[in-house]
Structure 1
Amino acid sequence: MFLLSDQLVVSASDLRLASECEFAVLRDLDVTLGRVDVGVQEDDPMRERLAELGMLHEQAQLRALRAAHPAQGAVVELPRPTYSVQGLAAAMTTTLDAMAAGSGVEVLCQATLFDGSFVGHVDFLERTEGGWRLSDTKLAREATVPAMLQLGAYAAVLDAAGVPLAREARLSLGSGAEEGFSVAELVAVYRERRARLDAILSAHRAAEGPARWEDTPTACGRCAVCEAEAEASLDLILVAGVRMPTRRKLREAGIRTIADLASRTDPVPEVRERTLTRLREQARLQLDHDTHPEEGVRAEIIDPDALHRLPAPSRGDLFFDFEGDPLWAERGSSVWGLEYLFGMVEVDGDGDGDGPEYRAFWAHDRLDEKAAFIAFVEYVEARRRRWPGLHVYHYAPYEVSALKRLAARYAVYEDTVDQWLRDELFVDLYAVVRAALRVSQRSYSLKKLEPLYMPARSGDVTAAGDSIVAYHRFMALRDIDRHNEADAVLGEIAAYNRDDCVSTYLLRGWLLARADGEPATAPAPEPPEPQVVSPERAALIDLETLLRERVASRRAVDRSDLDQAIAMTASTVLFHAREDKPKWQAHFERLRTPVRDWRAEDGIFVVDEAEVVDAWAAQTPRQRPRRILRLTGEPMRDVPLAVGAAVKAVYAAPAPGGIEVKSGHANGESSATVQVLGTQEWVGANGRLRQSLTVLELAPKGGGEHTAYPIALVPGGFMSTRSIDEALAEFGRRVLESLPELPTCVGTDLLLRRPPRLRSGAALPEVGQGPRRHVEAITEALLAMADSYVAVQGPPGTGKTWVGARVIAALVERGWRVGVCSQSHAAIENLLTAVVEAGLPGNLVGKEAKATQTPNWTALASADDLAGFAAERGTGYVIGGTAWDLTNLRRVARGQLDLVVIDEAGQFSLAKTLAVALAGSRLLLLGDPQQLPQVSTGSHPDPVDESALGWLLAGEAVAPAGRGYFLETTWRMHPALARVVSDLAYDGELRSAESVTAARSVAGVLPGLHVVPVAHAERTTSSPEEAVVVRDLVAGLIGRELVSDGQVRTLQAADVIVITPYNAQVSTIRTALAQAGLEEVAVGTVDKFQGQEAAVAVLSLATSTGGDGRGLDFLLSRNRLNVALSRGQVAAYLVHAESLRAIAPRSAAELMALGGFLRLIGPAG
């Protein structure tokens, strides 16, 4: 920022800084106004290196644009202007003149944009048919909030100047990838952030004196400006373990400095006593150290047991550390980060006697990284065979996370790394230090602990950032053939890495010596069991390996479509093993660590209080005893346990008989299933959801009655996916046997994203006129193809089920054998019911059903009866089943069906789609990726976890015409509401059937979207303020005149649905409605209402802070807003905190979600 006369002019860099730390922006303003001196700018080699690489990246992009626009004068580079009012205004005029029609300019480089209070220089402006396209080059591996705000700023200036802009602006990333973003949404966020920036700058200019750290609530606490202020005021943020939210709560209680905290004895609202005690003692120790620095760094033992749990030393122990560059990427790849050095020291005494022996595995590209990872794993395995009791020590979780990531990235030694985790091979000394010690340092980094056990380091490379800069220097020297100098730089990096490894080794020794003065340790572990791989698993691993070998010599960025299809086929072979892996890892982590350290996940209930309802009893002598408990506590992630849930009970050590707690573990899990019999929900004083559960617990096998209570309930076992895995393996073998070509089938059409293939070679039939136009076109397409697919995208209310049912009925009448599949039984049964309603006799439609059901189709006693049902009919039938059914050869043979229909294909993974597709020759995909998305938990080498429809749409909002059909007319929403949903989620392509919907009305209520801002603060997942507003809205709606489908009646409770993202708010709203006698109004989360509709939908977002940790991209998800608002037929109400519009996004996904939301709610005021 700078002053032109008295006008303050800001730039994109100011917006970027404000998005990161508002205090730093105010300090910049102080410098501009002369209120503080300009600080000494220290050299930053990393920043200089990034600037150098950024310039090279921009020049490469310019060369590409010149090649694409070779005409003389088509590409124009504009000079930087003088920074005066006249100079900047003239530069803006030059920019606009060059953009004028007939100028001959196709591309502008470094165009100046100036509107009197903002100045920027856009990297590239390219003329397109849709308007001028903004493009900025960024070295970053992914789009960042500052880069996107910069694009929004440029677009806003050009829009105000009347320049037509393309719908998307682009970021050309350092990976070579280009990402496009909606200009309208970028501008919406920019204007909100710019208004915030202008407000704080104006207020500060009007005030006297420089900005005060303690008066700035939005200081980040991390940047160099904040660090200097914190140091000067001995701020709370300097206390190890204090984060900015905790700092705010402490300051509200009058605690502002380290000394204040060290002397605090009274409770602090919203800070747990245990947390306050820990922070107070940490502050006390730091204060003592600051007062008496001559005494050196001090450490106090707070938990000797944590030291005792350290493994007994082994001669084979390794001390391991990675060096990595997070900015490294192959051109054209979206995968960033290179682990360029796997370093370790070993102390087995086989070296030259000069202390720990150092070993390094280097990697300078992706192929090297894979080779280094393989070499590392094989080296560790060889040492384990020699020293079965060895452990690998490291400091902080990064090493283990990186190894898991590398195993998944290269699909190699995944089982070995998993076995290491189960064997507890790794010992994180950071976790030991945090559990066992209190240290007088402001940070618990390895370097800060070293004064306790080793002398200060020397050398040019003494920090991780120095290592990365040195590695960049190595690459530059290598690239100009200065190999001797390059090798010397690698030597410096290796010396630094060796120091880290030795430091870890010395820390282990120091910790052992602190255990009651003697190296008291946990018992030596049993030798690891030989890794046993079942023949079935071994066959799958071999199949994946053979497939992957076909593309192993080519980098991912160099793959052809054929290569990518082969790689994705390989990734499906162990799809479910990778999906289940995080669940197993979380399971073992929960047994190892105390509840307070558990990661928040769905399905976990933490017990605060427990009481016996019915004591242990057994109905027969041979029956295990059982008891009924009432457990009170909090479900993690705001997801309550439901009645009927089958879970497992976790007990703290020492656990009751029959429940094993491994040495060094905090907990054990009962083998018996716990059944949830009843549940009651409410919102606690902290605003979080609480539950009281009545549960039936069996005594564990090998145990008996006991008086202990569980500390938590956790998810039970995993469902077998054997039949699906076998189908995926069969598909993989078909692909392998067909190579070097791919087999011609529906599965490979999907993987290649090939347009549907008709026997004639023609394109898909065009949609005609009339209410059955889509039915006729889709039916014609399926009849004309032999072994391909048709995709149908059906937005809310467009009759996807109606169309699908009539297509199925028409084909069965021609003798087709059809299978219907989906994620849930409810979705399958809904489509089967519609098929019968479309005119197909119910005796031709069959599916397993519960005894309590009375469907209009044939209810089978068991899914195993599907084969007999089909055999009896021969041709012309419909069967329904999940992926487990359609891949089970005892129920459905391979190729038995003429057509497999997957409903809700926007939530059905591509891997499962390939599996069920083997049951038939053709595939009909019905769904909408713009509604609730496919959920995946695993990490996969290739995107086979994406939904089938999502893969085909490739990020587009609307299905491309050549790949399927878009049902463009909604029969549910009034035109005013349909326009809102269409703009939000479908690029304006969805329209309303006005002849049906326009007449719908609620007396006194305008059709469309109503935005209701509510004032509240510090709410995470529950807002009583919004609940009161919702109650009053609903009360005001009920009893009004409702006109719907030609009928006039009174609007009832059933005509309103209330939706919210959080179960805590569901409980709060239900309570508010019940107090007003409105308990019949349906209230639930978004997923509970997909497929339903009502005259009016009310959405309460509940949070004023951005939610429960899942981020703005969850809270403001376009998919979730789409589903929620589109439940309404006449109107939808969006109730939200006023402060939501001002929340700063933290990622590209959050920024785009916020942009869509801001466009939805419109400008403030």
Structure 2
Amino acid sequence: MRRLYQAVQAAEGLEHDLLFPSESTKRRLIKTPGFVPFNNSLNQEQIRSVEMILGCEGAPPYVIYGPPGTGKTMTLVEAMLQIYATRKNDRILVCAASNSAADHVLEKLISNDDAKVKENQIFRLNASSRSYEDVHPDHIRFCYFDESIFKCPPLRALVQYRIIISTYMSSSLLYAEGVSSGHFSHIFLDESGQASEPESMVPIANFCSRETVIVLAGDPQQLGPVIYSKDAKAFGLGKSYLERLFECEPYRNGDEGFVIKLVRNYRCHAAILDLPSKLFYKGELLACKEDTSSSISSIVDFLPNKEFPVLFFGIQGFDERERNNPSWFNRIEASKVVEVINKLRASGDLDEADIGVITPYRQQVLKIKKVLENWELSDVKVGSVEQFQGQEREVIIVSTVRSTIKHNDFDRTYRLGFLSNPKRFNVAITRARSLLIIVGNPHIVSQDPCWEKLLWFCADNNSYKGCPLPERQSSACEEPIPKRNSISELENSCHSRVREWFQSLDEEVPQITQIVSDAAEGSGCRK
């Protein structure tokens, strides 16, 4: 916390136009010759991004706006390698929001055979609290430690490195060792949308001068920083520095001297990308994933439309909690999730590690994990949206959990679950490369504009299975969502058919249902 206070105080000494440029701010550029990419797969927007970074001469920040799967980190790495190879006196600081993300950047930098970054010129800074065993054995040689405890080397060693990689917070160790403002010619902030504004200020305020080139990469439409304090949220700390930059005219207007938007998505099937592109990115995203003749959707038997790899399973279950535990779970949905996983595995050519399950409640995560362990399917990752941000799987299964309308207001108030949280929705449905499966109550999710669009997107493409759909009250998915049926009407509709649906599910997959029931039996569950 002291590091954050120190960084915020240091930021007060920076010129306002350096942090938040106005419309009159002029981007200072230098003429640069064309460059030969180390990565031959870069697209037009990525190449232009690198050119602009090489052409920048100091503040204000340059932003790479990268929607899901568009290669933000790849673009940053190319820029770093170009600077390393052509500007021998430049020094680079790279910060990421997590240790795993920072390790990923390190791996990309050292694995490029053409650039050949020297081992004694790149350093991975770790906090002393990080476990030695947590670091990949191949990366240990780039770290500094004593008796398996990570440390920050002395200043005389730090200034010799040309590239230093750390998390946002750990970069404060450099300041404590005496690294001065202006030492780094370039500061790269990866996953900047996930860092709080004070966290972003740790590297910027401590090491930035007027001549320092600052580059942020991220997506303001995805999840922002995780803030637990209500007071902190009230004062705006839930909004990242990246998101605040887009309130400034040069970034909001898409001025090329300040920001470039990557639009080519190499992760998702076109059908998976279609809806988030329209909802969050003005329909600009281009699906560039290479099609394969043996796509997963073509070999999965239970897909009603094998040309459309987005499936909605309608489930009318029950919200449940254990005693005073605030987290929710839905055993019927958990049963369906495990059934789907077993069917996917039976289809062949799909490993456990290719499947991910996203659900917003910790108790649902634990219930599904326990059943998967009983089925010896522990390599299937199950987690929250936050745990999946920045990751991808061939198949993603989303369990929405909610089956009672009266609890929706609680979720909206405390920003829980999926409903009324567009960023969480966006991240959840853009993790899948080849197949996206939603397991949820259509009567409940249709209360949210984004989820309603997804529901009818599936129904219109003959890709809905399960309980009866709610009455459709909007003629097109782009139209505003009118008022729904009353709570009592919908809940009666949901609960009147729950037993019938559970009976059919029990007959279809008795073993799975029994295991899920056994897992929760005796835990004090209440409906």
| TM-score calculated relative to the size of structure 1 | 0.33
Q: Residues 959 and 978 (structure 1 numbering): CA distance in 2 closer, same or farther, change over 3 Å?
A: farther
Number of the residue aligned with 2:479: none
Alignment of 1:538-549 (within 5 A): none
Work out whether 1:758 is the aligned partner of 2:39.
no
Q: CA deviation at 1:1075?
A: 4.0
Q: Say whether residues 1:930 and 2:221 are aligned partners.
A: yes
Corresponding residue SS for 1:1028: helix
* Mapped contact 1:1014–1:1135 kept (Cα < 8 A): yes
1:877/1:773 Cα in 2 relative to 1: closer, same or farther (>3 Å)?
Answer: same
- The match for 2:49 is 778
Partner of 2:2: 721
Q: Secondary structure at the match of 1:961?
A: coil
Amino acid at match of 1:771: L
Report the CA distance between 1:981 and its aligned residue.
2.9
Q: Output aligned runs, 1:684-723, within 5 Å.
A: 720-722=1-3
- Distance of aligned partners of 1:878 and 1:1159 in 2 relative to their CA distance in 1, 3 Å threshold: same
Aligned to 1:573: none
**1:58-69 aligned within 5 A:** none
Cα displacement string for residues 222-261 of structure 1 (whole angstroms, at most 9, x for unaligned residues)? xxxxxxxxxxxxxxxxxxxxxxxxxxxxxxxxxxxxxxxx
- Asked if the contact 2:171/2:202 (under 8 Å) is kept, the reply is no
Q: 1:778, 1:790 within 8 Å by CA — same for their partners in 2?
A: no
Q: Alignment partner of 2:177: what SS?
A: coil
Determine the C-alpha separation between the residues in 2 that align with 1:982 and 1:903: 22
Please state how far the C-alpha of 1:823 moved relative to its aligned partner.
Answer: 2.8
Q: What per-residue deviation string (whole Å, max 9, x for no partner) do you get for residues 28-54 of structure 1?
A: xxxxxxxxxxxxxxxxxxxxxxxxxxx
Distance change (3 Å), C-alpha of 1:748 and 1:796: closer
Asked if residue 1125 in structure 1 is aligned to residue 429 in structure 2, the reply is yes
Q: Map residues 622-771 of structure 1 onto 2, 5 A cutoff.
A: 720-722=1-3, 724-735=4-15, 746-749=18-21, 752=22, 757-759=27-29, 771=42
Of 309, 313, 320, 1:1012 maps to 313
Q: Call closer, same or farther: CA 1:808–1:775 in 2, change over 3 Å.
A: farther
Name the amino acid aligned to 1:899.
H
Q: d(CA) in 1 for partners of 2:203 and 2:283?
A: 34
> C-alpha distance in 2, partners of 1:755/1:1078?
56
1:893 deviation in Å?
1.7
Are 1:885 and 2:171 counterparts? yes
1:748–1:954: structure 2 CA closer, same or farther, 3 Å change rule? closer
Residue equivalent to 1:900: 187
Determine the C-alpha separation between the residues in 2 that align with 1:911 and 1:1071: 38
Name the structure 2 match of 1:1095: 394
Q: Which residue of 1 aligns with 2:105?
A: 831
In structure 2, the residue corresponding to 1:946 is in which secondary structure? coil
Query: Is it true that 1:870 corresponds to 2:158 in the alignment?
Result: yes
For 1:1132, what is the secondary structure of its paired residue? Answer: strand
* 2:125 is the alignment partner of 1:848: yes
What is the CA–CA distance in structure 2 between the aligned matches of 1:730 and 1:954, rounded to whole Å? 22
Deviation at 1:782, TM superposition (A): 2.2
Contact 1:1058 1:1097 survives alignment (8 Å) = yes
The aligned counterpart of 1:968 is 263
The share of aligned pairs that are identical, in percent, is 22
Superposition deviation, residue 1039 in structure 1: 3.1
Q: Which amino acid aligns with 1:1067?
A: L
SS at match of 2:58: coil
Residue of 449, 452, 456 corresponding to 1:1158? 452
The match for 1:474 is none
CA distance in 2 between counterparts of 1:1109 and 1:787 reads: 47
5+ residue gaps, structure 1, are 1-719, 736-741, 1042-1049, 1144-1153
Q: What amino acid does structure 2 have at the position aligned with 1:1031?
A: V
Task: Decide which of 74, 91, 94 is 1:802's aligned counterpart.
Answer: 74
Letter in 1 for 2:340: L
Q: Deviation per CA, 1:760-811, whole angstroms, max 9, x where unpaired?
A: 699xx9xxx9625344322322232222221112222212121111111111
Classify 1:891/1:1063 alpha carbon distance in 2 versus 1 (closer, same or farther; 3 Å): farther
Structure 1 position 1072, deviation (Å): 3.1
What is the CA–CA distance in structure 1 between the aligned matches of 2:342 and 2:69, rounded to whole Å?
26
Root-mean-square deviation over aligned CA pairs = 3.2
Instruction: Find the aligned partners of 2:292 and 2:222 in 1 and give their Cα distance.
Output: 21
Aligned residues of 1:863 and 1:891 also touching (Cα < 8 A): no
Q: Contact 1:910 / 1:944 at 8 angstroms: preserved in 2? A: yes
- The correspondence of residues 390-539 of structure 1 with structure 2, limited to 5 A, is none
SS at match of 1:1051: coil
Is the 1:821–1:902 contact (alpha carbons within 8 Å) kept by the matching residues of 2? yes
Task: Name the structure, 1 or 2, with higher relative contact order (CA <8 Å, separation 6+).
Answer: 2
Describe the shift of the 1:755–1:964 C-alpha distance in structure 2 as closer, same or farther (beyond 3 A): farther
Q: Which residue of 2 aligns with 1:1139?
A: 443
Q: State the distance in 1 between where 2:5 and 2:285 align.
A: 38
Q: Any stretches of 5+ residues in structure 2 without a counterpart?
A: 322-327, 460-468, 471-527
- CA–CA distance in 2 between the matches of 1:927 and 1:883? 18
Distance 2:26 2:197 in 1: 16
- Map Cα deviations across residues 884-939 of structure 1 (whole Å, 9 max, x no partner): 42462415321110111111111222343344213131211011122221234334
Cross-structure match for 1:791: 63
Q: How many residues align?
A: 409
The residue number in structure 2 matching 1:817 is 91
Tell me which of 282, 287, 292 is aligned to 1:992.
287
Deviations 1:310-336 (A, max 9, x none): xxxxxxxxxxxxxxxxxxxxxxxxxxx
The 3-state SS of whatever aligns with 2:335 is helix
Question: What secondary structure is seen at the aligned counterpart in 1 of 2:153?
Answer: helix
Partners of 1:941 and 1:1091 in 2: CA distance: 27
Is the contact made by 1:820 and 1:903 (CA closer than 8 Å) also made in structure 2? Answer: yes
**CA 1011–806 in structure 1, closer or farther in 2 if over 3 Å, else same:** same
Relative distance call for 1:753 and 1:1083 in structure 2 (3 A) is farther
> How far apart are 1:843 and its partner, in Å?
3.1
**1:644-695, CA deviations, whole angstroms, 9 ceiling, x for partnerless residues?**
xxxxxxxxxxxxxxxxxxxxxxxxxxxxxxxxxxxxxxxxxxxxxxxxxxxx
Contact 2:268 2:289 in 1 (8 A): no
In structure 2, relative to structure 1, the CA distance for the partners of 1:1141 and 1:913 (3 Å cut) is closer
The structural deviation recorded for 1:1161 is 0.9
Give the conservation status (yes or no) of the 8 Å contact 1:792–1:965.
yes
Give the Å deviation of 1:941: 8.8
C-alpha distance in structure 1 between counterparts of 2:160 and 2:66, whole Å = 34
As a proportion of its length, which structure holds more strand? 1
Verify the 8 A CA contact 1:1058 1:1084 in the aligned structure 2: yes
Equivalent AA in structure 1 for residue 220 of structure 2: P
- Alignment correspondent of 1:1080: 379
CA distance in structure 1 between the partners assigned to 2:319 and 2:237 by the alignment: 39
Q: Give me the whole-angstrom Cα distance separating, in 2, the residues matched to 1:827 and 1:974.
A: 24
Shift of 1:868: 3.6
Aligned AA (1:1092): Q
- SS of equivalent residue, structure 2 residue 48: helix
State how far apart, in whole Å, the 2-side matches of 1:1088 and 1:980 are: 22
* Amino acid in structure 2 at the alignment position of 1:935: V
1:107-256 correspondence to structure 2 within 5 Å? none
8 Å Cα contact 1:863-1:885 kept in structure 2: no
